[in-house]
Amino acid sequence: MSENLIVPTMAEMLAQGKQPEVLFWVGCAGSFDDRAKKITKAFVRILNRANVSFAVLGTEESCTGDPAKRAGNEFLFQMQAMMNIEVLNAYEAKKIVTACPHCFNTLKNEYPELGGHYEVVHHTEFLKSLLDSGRLTIEGGQFKGKRITFHDPCYLGRANNVYEAPRDLIQKLDVELLEMKRSKANGLCCGAGGAQMFKDAEPGNKEINVERTEDALETKPDIIAAGCPFCNTMLTDGVKNKEREGDVKVMDIAELIANAQDL
Amino acid sequence: MSYLSNVLFAIVLIIGFGYFYSNVKKIIRNINLGVAVNRKDNAKARWRNMAMIALGQSKMVKRPVAGILHIIVYVGFVIINIELLEIIIDGLFGTHRIFAPLGVVYDFLIGSFEVLAFLVLFAVTVFLIRRNIVKLRRFIHADLKGWPKSDANYILYFEITLMTLFLLMNATDFHLQNVPGGFSHFIKAGSFPISQFIAPVFNRMSNELVMLLNEGFWWLHIVGILIFMNYLYFSKHLHILLAFPNTYFANLNPQGQFDNLASVTAEVKLMMDPNADPFAAAPVSENEAPSKFGASDVQDLNWVQLLNAYTCTECGRCTSSCPANQTGKKLSPRKIMMDTRDRLEEVGKNIDANKGVFVPDNKSLLNDYITPEELWACTSCNACVEECPVNISPLSIIMDMRRYLVMEQSAAPMPINAMMTNIENNGAPWQYSQQDRLNWKNEI
Ligand code: SF4
Ligand code: SF4
């Protein structure tokens, strides 16, 4: 049984002579990673519910080039960037929303110099704006009273100073928001950034995601909230490593909101 | 006789400032070995950064104990240097306490110098204890073996000596000011909230002896200051000067925004342009060395990164917040900065020894100082950049060296190569076809 998700593509929109309010940049993880696909769908459910006119690039989307750039491959990055910019500019994209802080940072900060000028927002900022303008309402629902801690993704927080939007959203759920000892600008990386996701760590005495999961578990949470598909994977692995998958869940903020609304 | 001491003083001053000047020139020369980068835009934001971070120490107080003690030493240092002006005038013209006619203002000034000197003594003692007895992890880290470790202690000893001499100088002065009926040129001036308690030590001595001591302390104090000033060049203490330009020229862009290599942009545009002649070589001028992608040595870094290296205070805040270092990997952002400075100094000495030109020495920052293992451990999380009290970016150096490894040497770890191949072929870091990008829509 496939669910009833309405996901128009930019090509379809163009054929109908329409321009969506926002372009949803799904990202590689959101498109292909089994865990991250759930986040993508949760976000789409919210967009559908709030009647947001959006579209995706679908098969015309390609990697932003972030992992290549952080690994040091400027060539590959700029090739990807210029191809994507060509596509985006052809559709005259103005506003882009994405659930991946890596795509967010790259599109927002590194594309302009190469000719791609868009208003780029992270999905937590976008959801916050939907709430603020009354297009979306949420109540605590099933999460009421739960203990939730939020892990700041480096590329959202330190890299771009987005700290409040995700926290505001969590607080809307009538939950207890717990701060880890290292949070916001002092947050600890999940260990995936800088292309680390795609290779083994160098020799050391611990994995970074385990160290970070320990920070999170210290707050005695029911749920560890994330705002990045890579952080999500790293922390999920960390929770497994600590054998706590039975009582602690790792969830994206879009999932929290979609679930709270039974979407 | 009195002329002799004025002349001697002038000579000491000239030597002190002359040597200092020649070393400052060397630093500027070395920093200019770096690649050009424009950091002159947005002057307003830059001045604000400098005022807040260097002058206002806003990032220091994030760790409150060290932060507040540091502010004491810093304020003490700046203010006590006002005293230096009087010392220099007195020394050159054979006057004594030339600013004494300022009256109450003078009393207040000298009084506050004394209180600060005392506070500095206290703060420096705590610093010594933190480094050598409590042994905070970031101070006993492997990065700080040898010179960097003793350097930090020498600075503290120096400060103790200078402050003590200052107080002793005042104490002898106070003693002589209060000789019944007056003594020689020791007029009543200044207030001595701290040194008046030291003064009784001199009660049993003859006035002539105390005067000799006074002159001795005075000389040791000024000569000490000159030596200390020249010590800066060899020390992490250089940050007391360079923190200012360093915060001024620091990056103003969002931390996540990495620069796009302009040389690459040109080539990629050429590749993507269907009308470009694929065989047309880019015009290369004869005597221009082919530019490298990324950095393998200090000359490939930009001048701000080199300025960063000279400014680093070796405080280790970056390293203590680095997730890679926290979990036992070899990477230490502080070491990246120290290595860069050491190599830059080595290159500078090479240039000095070879009449102004650099003679290749078969060494480079990459491999001889910094290993690929360190570079690959970085998650580019920006914790080090956030943490640095003087706005240094160790991350930018790490990234430039990775660029060299990947684009010049094709020396990325295997899985990274696989990831890059996937992006190239499928537009995703994993082996999935771009045609399947929307499949999620129809999956349960
Ligand atoms: S950016 Fe790299 S070097 Fe700096 S703290 Fe993060 S992992 Fe460490
Ligand atoms: S780079 Fe900054 S934080 Fe790191 S040791 Fe140097 S001064 Fe301290």
All residues at 6 or more sequence positions from B224 whose CB lies less than 8 Å from its CB, including other chains? B158, B161, B162, B165
Report whether residue B317 contacts ligand 2, using a CB cutoff of 6 Å. yes
* pLDDT: which is higher, A129 or A261: A129
Looking at the partner chain, which of A78, A155, A200 has a beta carbon nearest the beta carbon of B265?
Answer: A78
Q: Is the shortest distance between the CB of B331 and ligand 1 below 6 Å?
A: yes
- How many A×B Cβ pairs under 8 Å? 220
Q: Say if ligand 2 is within 6 A of residue B340 CB.
A: no
Which ligand is the nearest neighbour of the Cα of B316?
Answer: 2
Residue B117: closest CA among B86, B65, B82, B145: B82
pLDDT single digits (tens) B373-415: 999 999 999 999 999 999 999 999 999 999 999 999 999 999 9
* Mutate: best of A9, A34, A73, partner B, most B CBs <10 A: A73
Backbone dihedral angles phi then psi of residue A57, each to the nearest 5 degrees: -85, -25
Q: What are the C-alpha distances in Å from B221 to residues B74, B120, B170, B194? A: 18, 16, 11, 17
Kind of pairing between the strands at A223-226 and A147-150: parallel
> Ligand 2 centroid to B128 CA: how many Å?
19
DSSP A57-110: -GGG----SHHHHHHT-HHHHHHHHHHHHHHHHHTT--EEEES-HHHHHIIIII
Q: Is B339 in the pocket of ligand 2 (CB under 6 A)?
A: no
Site to substitute for ligand 1 among B138, B329, B334, B382, most atoms within 8 A of C-beta: B382
Q: What are phi and psi of A239, to 5 degrees?
A: -65, -40
Question: Are the Cβ atoms of B419 and A37 closer than 8 angstroms?
Answer: no
**Residue A161 banded pLDDT, cuts 50, 70, 90:** very high
- Count helices and strands (H / E) in chain A: 11, 8
A104 C-alpha to ligand 1 centroid (Å): 20
Q: Which of B408, B259, B383 lies closest to A188, judged by CA?
A: B383
Q: Which two tokens stand for residue B257?
A: 């925004």
The dihedral over CA atoms of B13, B19, B21, B25, expressed in degrees to the nearest 10, equals 180
User: B residues 292-311 near A, CB within 8 Å?
Assistant: 293-294
Summarised one tens digit per residue, pLDDT across range A42-66 is 999 999 999 999 999 999 999 999 9
Ligand 1 in reach of B380 Cβ (< 6 A) = yes
Which residues of chain B neighbour A110 with C-beta distances below 8 Å? 257-258, 260
**B57 with B70: CB under 8 angstroms?**
yes
Which residues from A are below 8 Å from B294, CB to CB? 72
Distance CA B177, CA B189 (A): 8
pLDDT given at position B130:
93
Question: Which token pair is B186?
Answer: 């020791």
Q: What is the pLDDT of residue B308?
A: 98
CA distance A177 to B64: 26
Q: For residue B436, which residues of chain A lie inside 8 Å, CB to CB?
A: 31-32, 59
- Chain A contacts in chain B segment 146-185 (CB below 8 A): none
Each residue's pLDDT, cut to its tens digit, for chain B (444 residues) gives 468 888 999 999 999 999 999 999 999 999 999 999 999 999 999 999 999 999 999 999 999 999 999 999 999 888 877 888 999 999 999 899 999 999 999 999 999 999 999 999 999 999 999 999 998 888 988 899 889 999 999 999 999 999 999 999 999 999 999 999 888 899 999 999 999 999 999 999 999 999 999 999 999 999 999 999 999 999 999 999 999 999 999 999 999 999 999 889 988 988 887 776 656 555 555 455 557 899 999 999 999 999 999 999 999 999 999 999 999 999 999 999 999 999 999 999 999 999 999 999 999 999 999 999 999 999 999 999 999 999 999 999 999 999 999 999 999 999 999 999 999 999 999 999 999 999 999 887
Please provide the size of chain B in residues.
444
Is there an atom of ligand 1 within 6 Å of B326 CB? no
Predicted local confidence at residue B1, as pLDDT: 46
User: Which residue among A76, A105, A188 sits closest to B424, beta carbon to beta carbon?
Assistant: A76
pLDDT single digits (tens) A139-154 = 767 899 999 999 999 9
Q: For residue A2, which residues of chain B lie inside 8 Å, CB to CB?
A: 442-444
Taking CB atoms and an 8 Å limit, are A76 and B373 in contact across chains?
Answer: no
Nearest residue (CA) to ligand 1, atom 5: B322
- Kindly state the tokens that stand for A27: 């990202």
How far is the C-alpha of B375 from the C-alpha of B395, rounded, in Å?
9
Look at residues B203, B141, B134 and name the one whose alpha carbon lies nearest to residue B172.
B203
Residue A158: other Cβ atoms inside 10 A: 25
Report helix, strand and coil shares of chain A as percent, to nearest 5. 50, 10, 40
Mean pLDDT over A202-231 rounds to 97
In this structure, the number of other CB atoms found within 10 A of the CB of residue B343 comes to 22
- From the list B243, B347, B248, B241, the residue with the least C-alpha distance to B24 is B241
